[in-house]
Amino acid sequence: MGPPRPALLALPALLLLLLAGARAEKEMLENVSVVCPRDATRFKHLRKYTYNYEAESSSGVPGTADSRSATRINCKVELEVPQLCSFILKTSQCTLKEVYGFNPEGRALLKKTKNSEEFAAAMSRYELKLTIPEGKQVFLYPEKDEPTHILNIKRGIISALLVPPETEETEQVLFLDTVYGNCSTHFTVKTRKGNVATEISTERDLGQCDRFKPIRTGTSPLALIKGMTHPLSTLISSSQSCQYTLDAKRKHVAEAICKEQHLFLPFSYKNMYGMGVQVTQTLKLEDTPKINSRFFGEGTKKVGLAFESTKSTSPLKQAEAVLKTLQELKKLTISEQNIQRANLFHKLVTELRGLSDEAVTSLLPQLIEVSSPITLQALVQCGQPQCSTHILQWLKRVHANPLLIDVVTYLVALIPEPSAQQLREIFNMAREQRSRATLYALSHAVNNYHKTNPTVTQELLDIANYLMEQIQDDCTGDEDYTYLILRVIGNMGQTMEQLTPELKSSILKCVQSTKPSPMIQKAAIQALRKMEPKDKDQEVLLQTFLDDASPGDKRLAAYLMLMRSPSQADINKIVQLLPREQNEQVKNFVASHIANILNSEELDIQDLKKLVKEALKESQLPTVMDFRKFSRNYQLSKSVSLPSLDPASAKIEGNLIFDPNNYLPKETMLKMTLTAFGFASADLFEIGLEGKGFEPTLEALFGKQGFFPDSVNKALYWVNGQVPDGVSKVLVDHFGYTKEDKREQDMVNGMMFSVQKLIEDLKSKEVPEARAYLRILGEELGFAKLHDLQFLGKLLLMDRPDVLMITTAQDRKDACTFFKDAGSP
């Protein structure tokens, strides 16, 4: 029969190879199907889908041709599918066109831009790999050198091609991945061919997407109104609608048209027509050839589908512009054209906000060399992380005056939505300075940071651990610093409690301990004001109030903290104690407070009112005594009901606590609370003052031989007896003044003698202590001591440039000019 022919020998090998390939493909599909079901995507593997892509963006008012602008992009788009749910996007033959005029019908006339070739090269330089595991979330794997603005354009192409698998339902609401994040999408099947959808539409309100955020410009920490980015963004309506034509047999996208509209509502008609921006994307299928490559390698960089913000491509030119503006601003001092100073300074601040962190780092030495005081002012007003971070580092590096560091740190902390780097710098400054301004600044920064980052971060944990270290050993450390730490903890109590619950336990130990001073114990009680009251905490506060050996003001502080959320048992014990209470100041205050609760119209305490009424069924409140000698709570509240709106109420509350030894007020508080629009009650403001040791001072000023009576005596003598007899009788009875007394004839010498006597009396007496605090919307801005007034007086007598600690004579001259032009005294 002869030897076998080569073709016949090759045939079995070929069949075996085909069978092995089919088996391998089947195994591959079975393996892939675990993470990507066959019906998870409309694009079949081992296919390449070629589209003609066109995108046009226009802005202006429709019907007004001269005021419109437009840009158009055309590209050839290839989408390869080497594996299920894995894609490779390639773009080529791109052109970029812009409007140069309009024809008589109002249609835009387009021509290629000067950088069209450069744009085409950038679009085709790199391919973009992406995966859609389980057909849901999209992950991109761009090349490391892919520019962000080019990647964003490719994101838009991918987003326009993503059509969810159809179901039997004609209409449904789906949550889909888009360039604006995860969006609620109204999905509608318009026509079907048998059981297969051939036309589909999607509509979405872009404002509801989780990554649709308005562009945030810098905010000066000195601005009275901050955080208006989001409210103002509601003046723009943003929506998107897409129409898809699908292949009836293979179910892939044959044509896609997506229209996006951003409309400025104040200048619109019926919220539909008017000033706005329209973006239209069109994809038309040209071919679907098969491919053989199954290779798909994920890159090292992994990003999402949502747009990323882009930075300027020419930081060098921006830096040069900032330096030039500062030089022009400095020249105004010589030219005396100060009318331009405000505009130039605003320009300088705006340009600083546009710089990157690296650009500010390299530019800052040059700016300081030109004018350090103006640079300092501009960095503070900038309000961006790259500005505030460097200003704090610079102040530490030049060893600036501690007062200047305090002021700048406090201002930087008022910037909304601080970054982690800003928070870290403020924390480092607070640790080094240990001052009221920097620690209160830290509390504001922590609260602002936690609002936008409600997770546990290393920066927040480090701050919580530091604060806890300062109140160890039952708050027996340095008294002034421990008091300050407790006030600061109270300002950010809610955040700290979520981070480290152990912090509250340390505070409660300070409340129960007798080692620290009464002032520290009371500050520890008030540090709980923002923390969630638990049963264990309430029990500690109740026992503190019931302890008759504790100072009265400490017991009242525990009582007020307990009454935020008391149980029926707590109120029963308080009411039962009152008739037997020996401390009249405590007894009178609690009785007046409970009586005010019963008479209050405030909406948020109606449940508390029921508990009090229940407790008073078998008891009776003591009679409230003389308000001139005994502590008391004052309240004035009013509630109103408005048609078709939730009821609203307002309350003004005050506390007046007397010293039991001399009937002088030692603590007072005034607070206003508002409840409206269905929200929880909010403390609009609260002012508090507490002090001690004023008795000797008051005696030296107003006593029988005090400064004011003696001065009145002398003044009356100098008017040569021209005083009515009735007034003379009062002077004799109260001050001991008679006409026979010999008085100093020299008015100036007489008054100087009285002043000298007053100073000597005050030196020999105990120095009074007083503290005052201010809270707005629950945030304590800080507290001031009586000693601060003396420091302020010295400060006012100092030269302004010396206070700012400007290093050179020229800088001092610049600083004087700057503050003079700014209108500072």
CA distances 121 to 49, 50, 77, 249, Å, are 21, 19, 14, 36
Mean pLDDT of 557-577: 92
Residue 17's pLDDT is: 35
Mean pLDDT of 514-537: 92
Residue 276's pLDDT is: 81
Query: CB-hemisphere CA count at 13 Å for 693?
Result: 10
Residue 14's pLDDT is: 34
Lowest-confidence pick of 271-285, 570-584, 697-711: 697-711
Query: CB-hemisphere CA count at 13 Å for 419?
Result: 12
Residues 6+ apart with CB under 8 A from 526: 486, 487, 490, 557, 561
What one-character DSSP code corresponds to residue 305? Answer: S
Dihedral (CA of 422, 423, 428, 431) sign: positive
Helical (H) or strand (E) element with 775? strand 769-776
CA 567 to chain centre: 35
Residue 453's pLDDT is: 83
Tokens standing for residue 57: 């963006």
What one-character DSSP code corresponds to residue 207? Answer: G
Q: Closest Cα partner for 658 from 698, 627, 693?
A: 627
Mean pLDDT of 395-423: 86
Residue 742's pLDDT is: 45
Lowest-confidence pick of 336-340, 491-495, 602-606, 658-662: 336-340
Q: Which of the residue ranges 334-343, 441-450, 797-806 has the most confident prediction, judged by mean pLDDT?
A: 441-450
Tell which wins on pLDDT, 678 or 802: 678
Proportion of the chain above pLDDT 70, given as a percent: 75
d(CA 681, CA 87): 54
Mean pLDDT of 658-669: 79
Helix (H, G, I), strand (E, B) or coil at 251: coil
520 pLDDT exceeds 60? yes
CA 725 to chain centre: 67
pLDDT in tens, 115-152: 999 999 999 999 999 998 877 789 999 998 899 999 99
Residue 702's pLDDT is: 53
Residue 750's pLDDT is: 56
CA 78 to chain centre: 44
Lowest-confidence pick of 314-323, 635-644, 650-659: 314-323
Angle at the Cα of 229 (from 223 to 235), degrees rounded to 5? 125
CB neighbours (10 Å) of residue 736?
12
Residue 387's pLDDT is: 83
Mean pLDDT of 687-700: 69
CA distances 577 to 110, 590, 614, 630, Å, are 87, 10, 16, 18
Would you tell me the crossing angle of helices 372-382 and 402-413 to the nearest 10 degrees? 30
Residue 730's pLDDT is: 53
Residue 711's pLDDT is: 60
Q: Is 236 exposed, middle or buried (0-12, 13-18, 19+ CB in 10 A)?
A: middle
54 pLDDT exceeds 80? yes
Lowest-confidence pick of 462-471, 634-643, 686-695, 730-739: 730-739
CA distances 38 to 31, 133, 187, 483, 721, Å, are 12, 12, 21, 66, 112
Place of tokens 């509509």: 203
Tell which wins on pLDDT, 800 or 160: 160
490 confidence band (pLDDT: 50, 70, 90): very high
280 confidence band (pLDDT: 50, 70, 90): very high
Residue 726's pLDDT is: 56
pLDDT in tens, 25-34: 444 434 444 3
pLDDT in tens, 723-732: 556 555 555 5
Residue 11's pLDDT is: 35
Tokens standing for residue 658: 């007397």
Residue 81's pLDDT is: 93
Query: CB-hemisphere CA count at 13 Å for 558?
Result: 30
d(CA 628, CA 616): 27
Residue 159's pLDDT is: 92
Tell which wins on pLDDT, 741 or 269: 269
793 pLDDT exceeds 70? no
Dihedral (CA of 506, 510, 515, 520) sign: positive
As separate numbers, helices (DSSP H) first and strands (DSSP E) second, the chain gives 30, 19
d(CA 153, CA 168): 33
Q: Whole-structure pTM over 0.85, yes or no?
A: no
Residue 621's pLDDT is: 84
Q: Is 194 exposed, middle or buried (0-12, 13-18, 19+ CB in 10 A)?
A: exposed
pLDDT in tens, 57-74: 888 776 555 566 789 999
Tell which wins on pLDDT, 788 or 123: 123
Q: Closest Cα partner for 709 from 663, 661, 664, 741?
A: 741
Q: What Rg do the C-alpha atoms of the chain give, in angstroms? A: 38
Mean pLDDT of 482-495: 93
What per-residue string of b and e applies to 19-47 under the rule 16 or more CB within 10 Å gives b?
eeeeeeeeeeeeebeeebeeebbbbebeb
Residue 109's pLDDT is: 82
d(CA 445, CA 274): 41
441 pLDDT exceeds 90? yes
Helix (H, G, I), strand (E, B) or coil at 119: helix
CB neighbours (10 Å) of residue 441?
27
Residue 279's pLDDT is: 92
76 confidence band (pLDDT: 50, 70, 90): very high
Residue 699's pLDDT is: 59
Residue 819's pLDDT is: 36
Lowest-confidence pick of 182-186, 259-263, 821-825: 821-825
Asked if 585 and 551 count as a contact pair (C-beta separation under 8 A), the reply is no
pLDDT in tens, 78-115: 999 999 889 999 999 999 999 887 777 767 788 999 99
Q: Which of the residue ranges 40-54, 225-239, 645-659, 701-715 has the most confident prediction, judged by mean pLDDT?
A: 40-54
d(CA 98, CA 112): 6
Place of tokens 């601080």: 418
761 pLDDT exceeds 80? no
d(CA 259, CA 243): 9
What one-character DSSP code corresponds to residue 39? Answer: G
Lowest-confidence pick of 204-213, 257-266, 505-514, 719-728: 719-728
* 3-state per-residue secondary structure call for 390-432: HHHHHHHHCCCCHHHHHHHHHHHHCCCCCCHHHHHHHHHHHHH
690 pLDDT exceeds 90? no
813 pLDDT exceeds 50? no
Tell which wins on pLDDT, 782 or 223: 782
Mean pLDDT of 739-764: 55
- In this structure, the strands spanning 779-785 and 769-776 are antiparallel
397 pLDDT exceeds 90? no
| One-letter amino acid for residue 464 of the chain | A
CA distances 799 to 584, 796, 803, 804, 813, Å, are 52, 8, 7, 9, 12
Residue 69's pLDDT is: 79
d(CA 73, CA 254): 20
